[in-house]
Structure 1
């Protein structure tokens, strides 16, 4: 079983742009920590999100691959 740990906020990097709910599946990767924040609405009323993602470490990649 993999141990779940959390990255300190300083280890998260913001992905450029804003994302819609249905785009999250294309962005989320195993072995990383995420912070997802509400970022308002698009002109058509679609909710937008800002996403912060951890920088992968060698240990995290090894845990995912095993």
Structure 2
């Protein structure tokens, strides 16, 4: 039960911080990825999302 609650909290936290780093804060992405990696909740989906967001920010920085 505790682990499920922890995972839900981490996922919610990820989405809250995603709103912040969609603005273009690369540091926040690294921070979220490291937090999730440390808690052992990392999976392929998390890494894919991380890379997609990273690419989108880099692409938008090049465009502007």
* TM-score normalised by structure 2 residue count: 0.26
> Higher strand share goes to which structure?
1
For the pair shown, which has the larger CA radius of gyration, 1 or 2? 1
> Higher helix share goes to which structure?
2
Q: Which has the higher contact order (CA 8 A, sep 6+)?
A: 1
* TM-score normalised by structure 1 residue count: 0.26
